[in-house]
A and B are shown apart, each in its own frame.
Chain A
Amino acid sequence: MADLQSQDYIRRSASTLTPPAIRNHEQEVAKLIDVSRCIGCKACQSACMEWNNLRPEIGHFEGSYDNPMDLGPSVWTLMRFTEWEDEKGNLEWLIRKDGCMHCEDPGCLKACPAPGAIVQYANGIVDFVSDNCIGCGYCVKGCPFDIPRVDPVDHKSYKCTLCSDRVGVGLEPACVKACPTGAIMFGSKADMTDWAGERIKDLKSRGFENAGLYDPPGVSGTHVMYVLHHADKPSIYAGLPDKPHISALVELWKGIIKPVALAGLAFTALAGFVHWITAGPNEVQPEDEAEAQRLLRPAKAPRPSAKGQR
């Protein structure tokens, strides 16, 4: 999946050096998913499977329109269906296309311990470089959206690439191309935000007064955004986080603990060395041996058996 060049990296997992980022002039891209225009046809799911050559195992009917029931190593995008009743008792069928949000501040990348297994390109796409993935599952813990899935067969983590291979050559992602209603749009982040504004105005004029754009600031914005008719409560859309952010536990683990821990180890070792060159080794003295013999001798005399043991 690393079709874009390393010069396009603006972030690289488990790396202490700053990437070259000589192409920082690149426009940031975004995918806009207009939930209000989605008809739940799953063309995007099929297109994703088709382009990325994914064939998830065929499962069982679980009494839900969701098919399959969850994201997986071979399910990078998934329509999630929710039947929701508003305050007046009207039923609304909420359909959300779930998948990687391509956070501007990606928790998966922050948590990843494998150098270069997760990268972020200047255009904002967060990509998993499978070749470098070690299968530890740290990205799963880092992600605020519960997206990455580790494949139990090849022990590598997978998620939506935003079709970085297509975007890299000027094409839109496969799901965007397949969408028959224009519910999925793709372009520069600025254009998508503008377009979302139009859509929100339209929705508001039709009575959805809480319509709005989902571009959560807790992760510094995302490169996959939603137009929601009920943007005041994102969680009704199959658990879309209301205020997503990288867990404080992950921030601690991948933040202050790392340098403090290494400093602690270095300090302990250094303290040992300083002790070695100041106090020095503790050697047994001839007097100790003499005293020991003095204790042993009378003990030996009345106990010939003990002497025999020696």
Chain B
Amino acid sequence: MTYPSGTIVRYSAASRINHWITGGCFVLLTLSGLSMFHPLLAFLAELFGGGQWTRAVHPWIGVVLLISYSGLIIQFWRDEMWTRDDLAWMGAINRVLVNEEEGVPEVARFNAGQKFVFWAMALLVPVLFCSGLVIWEVYFSSYTTIEQQRVAVLIHSLGAIGAIIVWIIHVYAGLWIRGSMRAMLHGYVTPGWAYRHHRKWFRRLVETGSRGPVPNAGAASARNTL
């Protein structure tokens, strides 16, 4: 994979493919799920070939999303671990929101907002999957009582709304922070972008002579102590 010279690699091709499979599934699940959630949005079922197709395909997309998101967890969990620095960054969130980044604590590969999105989805995706299995009428309806299915469908609805809200935040942040979309689409950022938004990560890359997305292996032991 080649990137323009002088740029820094933010996400590997594997990460990007993994991300967009997840994102595509999420959008399809949102559209098909909302069509079965509110009558005002029932028309969305037509995008999937009608109600029967929507009902049939929705759970399978969910299975793909679960597998795909598991891949993202495996790839990113180390860089998404919560640290004390994240609290300090959260304390300066008012400045971050108005684009005044002077004095905002330096951020490693992911900031607290990104970590929130990551872990919120890491919680909600399995919750949605498990509650979804219970209400997957065709295959699993005989394994649970109707009362359990009522609980599951309620959890599934609430979890889905939570996940869609997190997703809106995620998408907006990607549009708001210019350069993020290119990072996730094409994999690279400019050094200035890395310096502005993820200075700690950038410093580590410079220190270890890495082009990204992770510091070079020689410094891996030092990295764990951070």
Contacts and interface: CB of A to CB of B under 8 A. Distances in A.
Interface of A: 14-16, 113-115, 117, 132-138, 140-141, 146, 150, 152, 155, 247, 249-250, 252-253, 257-258, 261-262, 264-265, 268-269, 272, 275-276, 279-286, 288-293, 295-296, 299, 303, 305-306, 309-310
Interface in B198-226: 202-203, 206-207, 209-211
B153 A288 contact: no
Nearest to A283: B178
Nearest to A308: B209
A253 B45 CA distance: 20
14 contacts: A132-B51, A134-B55, A146-B146, A152-B138, A258-B38, A262-B38, A264-B161, A272-B172, A282-B178, A284-B196, A288-B192, A291-B192, A295-B202, A295-B206
For the complex of A and B, the 3 pairs showing the least CB-CB separation, nearest first, are: A306-B209, A289-B192, A134-B51
A215 to B, nearest CB: 23
Interface in B120-142: 135, 137-138, 141
Contact of A155 (B56, B97, B190): B56
Contacts of B6: 310
A253 B50 CA distance: 23
Nearest to A146: B146
B191 A296 contact: yes
A66 to B, nearest CB: 19
Contacts of B74: none
A303 B209 contact: yes
Given A115-B42, A268-B165, A299-B207, 4 more contacts: A134-B52, A257-B158, A261-B161, A303-B209
A276 B192 CA distance: 22
A233 B165 CA distance: 47
Give the secondary structure class of A's interface.
Answer: helix
Nearest to A259: B38
Contacts, number: 163
Nearest to A247: B150
B164 A265 contact: yes
Contacts of B153: 138, 141, 249, 253
A309 B3 CA distance: 11
A16 B40 contact: yes
Contact of B157 (A253, A280, A289): A253
Nearest to B8: A292
A284 B169 contact: no
B177 A282 contact: yes
B168 A269 contact: yes
Contacts of A261: 37-38, 157-158, 161
A73 to B, nearest CB: 12
A185 B209 CA distance: 88
B17 interface: no
B22 interface: no
A247 B141 CA distance: 18
A15 B52 contact: no
A275 B176 contact: yes
B96 to A, nearest CB: 9
